[in-house]
Amino acid sequence: MKLAYYPGCTVRDKAVHLDETTKASARELGIDLQELENWTCCGATYPLTEEKIANLVPQIRILRNVREGGNSQVTTTCAFCYSTLKRANRAIAVDDLRRQRVNAFLRDDDPVRPYKEQTQAPADYEGEVAVLHLLEVFRDGFGWDRLAKATKKPLNGLKVAPYYGCKLLRPPKEVAFDDPENPTIFEQFLAALGCEVIDFPFKSECCGSYLALSAPESASRLSHLILTSAVKSGAEVLALSCPLCYYNMDLRQRDISKSYPGFQHVPVMFFTQLLALALGLDEKVLGLDLHYVDVRPLLRQKNLLQ
């Protein structure tokens, strides 16, 4: 199984443990992730006004490079990257004006692609690459059964609440990832790893997103709501896929403790960390020292870590 991998900016700096565990797990599972060469920022947020057509250029350049690199699928783990790439891809496919404008812009764009010297600009990009979240790769390509079989150290007894956040699920017509109100893909993933899956009512509520900068107290309020609800439902650890959710759930617990006396820390993990753990990969790969709320005591208690 071979597909292109788009890491995204945050996983190379603030969320290296997401990137490292993704790559190591894929290797272990025999999935050939081909990291896109010379990738650039995806733009982080999808442009929501009719006039910001130029803001679609980065995503389309990325997707065109996927195609030019000989891949028809690209996967990513960051929910923001997934959302912007997937929505831009759809916009290009369904919207003639956007397709023409963006391609016209990219025609003059000299692709810096040392692996393939070209004198001509590549053909227009029309949305032909499939954008997949890594969870979709498991669901639709790899298969849950196969994943469960590949699990060497099933995470039995670990009570994990899956947290979807906003970007994976919404707007449902554009991302079409799962049922927007009652999604199950994350649950199926965790079940394949052997976790005890904890359902809780705020698994798709917003964490406050980039309001982390402009309204940090709102982000604290929302993260507090989500974390306490997960714990109340019986979760020992929260699993997620978005580095920004991770920031708002993990490091923010420092502020939450200040604003909400009596708040007990809850560890938060990337879904790929759980995957790497279940695959029995070396602890060094997991990056467990990078968390604000240390997850290691819990994992040791559950005999999942030396």
Partner 1 sequence: MAQVTADVEAVRGRLMPERAGQHGKVLLAGKVVNSEFAERVRSLSGVDPRECYQCGKCSSGCPMTPEMDLIPSQVIRLLQLGQEQDVLGCKTIWLCASCFQCYSRCPKGIDFSRLAEALRMLAMAGKVEYLAPEDVPEEVLTEVPQQALVSAFRKYGL
Partner 2 sequence: MKRIGVFVCHCGHNIAGVVDVKRLAAELAKHPGVAFATDYIYMCSEPGQALVREKIKELNLDGVVVAACSPTLHELTFRTAGRMAGLNPYQVEIANIREQCSWVHTDGAQATAKALKIARSTIEKVRYNQSLEPVMVPITQRALVIGGGIAGIQAALDIADAGYEVVLVEREPSIGGHMIQLSETFPTLDCSQCILTPKMVAVAQHPNIRLLTYSEVEDISGYIGNFKVKIRRKAAYVDWDVCTGCGVCVEKCPKKVPSEFERFLGMRKAIYTPFPQAVPNKPVIDRVNCTYFLKGTCKACEKFCEVKAIRWEQEDQYLEESVGAVVVATGYDTYPIANLGEYVGGKIMDVIDGLAFERLLSASGPTAGQIRRPSDGTVPKEVVFVQCAGSRDPELHKAYCSKICCMYTTKHAMLYKHAVPDGQPYVFYIDMRTNGKGYEEFYQRAIDEDGVIFLRGKVAKIFQDGDKVMVWGADTLTGRKVEIAADMVVLATAIVPSAGTEELVKRIKIGCSDGGFLLEAHPKLRPVESMTAGFFLAGCAQAPKDIPEAVAQASGAASKVIGVFSQEAMAHEPTIAFVDEDLCSGCHMCIPVCPYEAREFDKEKGIAIVKEALCEGCGACVAACPSGATQQRNLTDAQIEEMITVSLME
Q: How many CB atoms lie within 10 A of CB 97?
A: 10
Q: Which does 210 bind (CB under 5 to 8 A by kind): partner 2, partner 1, none?
A: partner 1
Asked if 301 touches partner 2 (CB under 8 A), the answer is no
- Residue 80 C-beta: closest distance to partner 1, Å: 5
Alpha-carbon distance values, 213 to 46, 83, 180, 208 (Å): 18, 20, 27, 10
Long-range contacts for 28-32 (Cβ within 8 Å, ≥24 apart)?
A: 28/150, 28/276, 28/279, 28/281, 29/142, 29/147, 29/150, 29/279, 30/1, 31/1, 31/2, 31/3, 31/137, 31/142, 32/1, 32/2, 32/3
Strand partners, 34: 4
Judged by CB under 8 A, the residue of 143, 157, 171, 280 near partner 1 is 171
Q: Which of residues 156-185 bind partner 2 (CB under 8 A)?
A: 179-182
Binding mask 191-220 for partner 2 (x = CB under 8 A): ----------xx------------------
Residue 122 interacts with partner 2 (CB under 8 A): yes or no: no
Binder to partner 1 among 26, 33, 88, 169 (CB under 8 A)? Answer: 169
DSSP string for 120-144? SPPPPP-S-SEEEEHHHIIIIII-H
Over its C-alpha atoms, the chain yields an Rg (Å, rounded) of 20
Residue 19 forms beta bridges with which residues? none
Interface with partner 1 (CB under 8 A), residue from 4, 26, 56, 78 = 78
Which of the listed partners (partner 2, partner 1, none) does 157 bind, with a CB threshold of 5 to 8 Å by partner kind?
A: none
| Residue (32 or 289) nearer to partner 1, CB | 289
Q: What are the residues binding partner 2 (CB under 8 A)?
A: 179-182, 201-202, 229, 232
Q: What are the residues binding partner 1 (CB under 8 A)?
A: 8-10, 13-15, 41, 43-45, 47-51, 55, 78, 80-81, 165-166, 169-172, 180, 204-206, 208-218, 221-222, 243-244, 246-247, 251
